[in-house]
A = this chain, B = another copy of it.
Amino acid sequence: MTTLEVPTDGLFGLANLPYGVYSVSGGQPRVATRYGDYVVDLAVLLDDDTFDSPSINRFMAQGRQRWVDVREQIASLVTGDILAAAVHTLDEVTLHLPIEVADYVDFYASQYHAANLGKLFRPDNPEPLLPNWKHLPVSYHGRSSSIVVSGTGIVRPNGQRKGPMDPVPVFGPSTRLDIEAELGFVVGTESAMAEPIPVEEAENHIFGAVLFNDWSARDIQAWEYVPLGPHLGKSFASTISPWVVPLLALQAARIPTPTQNPEPLPYLRMDEPWGLDIDVAVEWNGQVVSRPPYAAMYWSPAQMLAHLTVNGAPTSVGDLFASGTISGPRKEQRGAFIELTWGGAEPVNVAGERRIFLEDGDEVVLTATAPGADGTRIGFGEARGRILSAT
């Protein structure tokens, strides 16, 4: 038996207890929690086969009461004597994608991001937001198979692009490779066809949240996206953080969203505060270039889930929906480089170089923290990716 010494002021204390999937050399991936810098095997800790699994999907499917009960059990057990076989340190393990992703939807829920892109792409239009934007959380489906865990190399995508001066499209590696700093929300329990999930039921379905980097090839996207939306400009890769922070750990982070005016249609109205006071940071080659505030997001995750099921679409265990780029009102709060550099007109200084988009070898790391229970703060770990040369 062993006991774990974990500082009470760290980001992975008892107020966090996220879920992830790890393996040690030669072993099968299994479910763990992170406590301090320890990775604690939950099948061993809890003596429960649910966690002898390569994803957390089986556990999530058991529903919210189990999420509550298991969280209490973990908190109780990690502070006592535990089997040494349950314990690894972070540097001993490989972390894997924590969920088996079913359907993936990306939203567009930041008013500042949507308005910035409107000004950049439709400069002649006096109203930067499109007419539907304040009535519904605009969104689209993305590719599930290219969602990868933090640390996976991101190969620069090839594709078609056509600049305003090009007579015909050209093919080659993207020259405008960007990020989008987002949160992703993990759906833990399924819902049936023709049975929408109302806002007030969202807590029974949303299991937790991860950091999400929606890598974006702006040149490919600009040429392809009319009229059916983004596809190849996004589908090459998205990076998530390895630890799913439970919604149960985010109760202290819940705040009202910004005022929604006009008042949304009844199916989008909220009785509970569903905004999230999460501070995100974007590091570019080791330098923080932006601090997007999740608190500024206009549409909440409960509204996103209510909207995406209101037409009767069923959900599955492991569905993932992302927030869209998190941008705040100030320049240094913009979560995509196309905004941060204003389409390239205002390069940013990254370690002494003037930069606009990503170059091969660049590394981007997203991190985030939020208020936890009892005045603590909790961390999301990181979503890290380095750009590799195009094939």
Contacts and interface: CB of A to CB of B under 8 A. Distances in A.
Number of identical monomers bound together in the oligomeric complex? 2
Interface residues of A, number: 63
Given A135-B160, A224-B136, A265-B169, A146 B229 contact: no
A312 B145 contact: no
Main secondary structure of the interface of A (DSSP, over half): loop
Given A140-B141, A142-B141, A160-B136, A312 B102 contact: no
A313 B236 contact: yes
A382 B102 CA distance: 27
A31 to B, nearest CB: 22
A335 interface: no
Contact of A311 (B135, B159, B307, B308): B159
A263 to B, nearest CB: 10
Contacts of A311: 157-159, 217, 220, 232-233, 235-236
A225 to B, nearest CB: 7
Interface in A89-128: 102-103, 105, 108
Contact of A227 (B135, B160, B225, B307): B225
Interface string A213-238: 00001001001111111111101110
A22 to B, nearest CB: 21
Contact of A223 (B132, B193, B229, B312): B132
A304 B169 CA distance: 18
Given A130-B226, A169-B265, A266-B171, A232 B193 contact: no
